[in-house]
Structure 1
C-alpha cells in the first residue's frame, strides 16, 4: 500500500482527504439523482487531488487505487498474528518488498473469519501452522505513530500457538525468525512499531487485550 512520509506532510490533511473521499463514496452508493451523483463525483475528484499531492502521486493513479472501493465506506481491516516461542521471543517475517520485518499478516480476506485470516497469513508468511488462542489487540492506525497511509486502517492482532513448522508458501516474505525485544531487527513501520511489539509481549504475558 502506498505510504506517505511523516516528516513534512501533515497527517491532518490526509485524514481530511480520506474523510472527504469516504463521504463521496458513500454518497455515490446512495445517490438517486444525476445531480447528486455529479456532486459526489466532484467531491471524489477533489479528494483524489488532495491525496495525490500528499503522496506525490499522479491523480489518475490515486483514482485507480480507489476505483475498486464502492458502497458504504469503511476502514480497511489488517489482520495479524503474534507468535511466541518457549522463551518469550516473538516471531517476525521479513517482507520481500522492502527487506524489513513485521509480524505475519495482511488484509482480511472475504469468506474467512478474522481468526481464520490470522492463521492463514501466519501459515503463508512464516510456514508455521498455528492455533489461534485469543485476541490481543484492536488498534486504529491513526492513533499510533505509523507513517501515514492513504487508507484508514484498523489492525487486529491475534495470539497464535505453533502446532507445526513448515516452509514459507507465499511470495510476500522471504525469511522468518524469533526475536527478543532487546534484539529487534529493522521493522516495517507501516505494519508494526517497536512499541506495539513491546505492548504485545505485555498482553501475552498478562493474558489481557488492548484496544483503541
Structure 2
C-alpha cells in the first residue's frame, strides 16, 4: 500500500488532476457504535469504502469494498450524503492528486465477521466517545457529525 496525504481547505494543496467516483458506508450497530477501519496508508480511522469499478453501480461498489476491507457483508439502507468538496484534495505517492468525490450510504450488517484487510491495521465498531479521541480526518468527522444530527434529508455538498 502506498501513502496518501489529505489536504482540506489548505491553500498549499496541490492542484487536482483526477476525479474518481467513490463511496463509503456508515454502519451502526445495536449500541449506536460506528464501523470504522484504521487506514494503513494514513493512520486515520475512516469509514469503509472505495472507488467504483467499471461494470458496477456505486451501491455495489460500497458493498464490495466494505466486504473486502472489513469482512462484513452489508446491505444499503439509505443515503447519508454526497461529499464533493473541491477543497478536499488527496495526494497519492504515484502522482495522482484527486478531488474528493464520495457518496456515503447507510448500511447494515447482514453477514460475515470482522477481518482486517491489507488496507487497514484495525477494524471495529467505535463509540462516539472513542471516535472523539482517535485520529479521524475532518471530512470523515463531517460525515459522522451529519449522522449524529439525525438529518431527515441527505447532505448535498
The alpha-carbon deviation at position 4 of structure 1 amounts to 6.0
Change (3 A) 1:159 1:107: same
- Please tell me whether the aligned partners of residues 134 and 158 of structure 1 are also in contact (alpha carbons under 8 angstroms): yes
Q: Deviations over 1:5-53 (max 9, x none)?
A: 6697534xx4xx44xx6xxxxxxxxxxxxxxxxxxxxxxxxxxxxxxxx
CA distance in 2, matches of 1:4, 1:166: 30
Matches within 5 A, 1:173-212: 173-184=120-131, 185-187=134-136, 189=137, 192-202=139-149, 205-212=150-157
More helix by share: 1
CA-based RMSD: 2.7
Q: Paired residues, what number?
A: 148
2:29 is aligned, of 75, 85, 96, to 85
Q: Does the 8 Å CA contact 1:94/1:175 hold for their aligned counterparts?
A: yes
- Name the TM-score, length of structure 2 as normaliser: 0.78
Q: Is the 8 A contact 1:77 1:155 kept in 2?
A: yes
Return 5+ residue gaps in structure 2 as ranges: 92-96
Equivalent residue for 1:163, pick from 104, 110, 117: 110
Unaligned runs of 5+ in 1: 22-73
Which among 79, 84, 105 is matched to residue 140 of structure 1? 84
Write the distance in 2 (CA, Å) between the matches of 1:8 and 1:211: 22
Separation in structure 2 between the aligned mates of residue 8 and residue 195 of structure 1, nearest angstrom: 17
CA contact under 8 A between 2:114 and 2:123: conserved in structure 1? no
2-structure distance, mates of 1:8, 1:161: 35
Q: Which entry has the higher C-alpha Rg, 1 or 2? A: 1
Instruction: Select 1:10's aligned residue among 12, 23, 38.
Output: 12
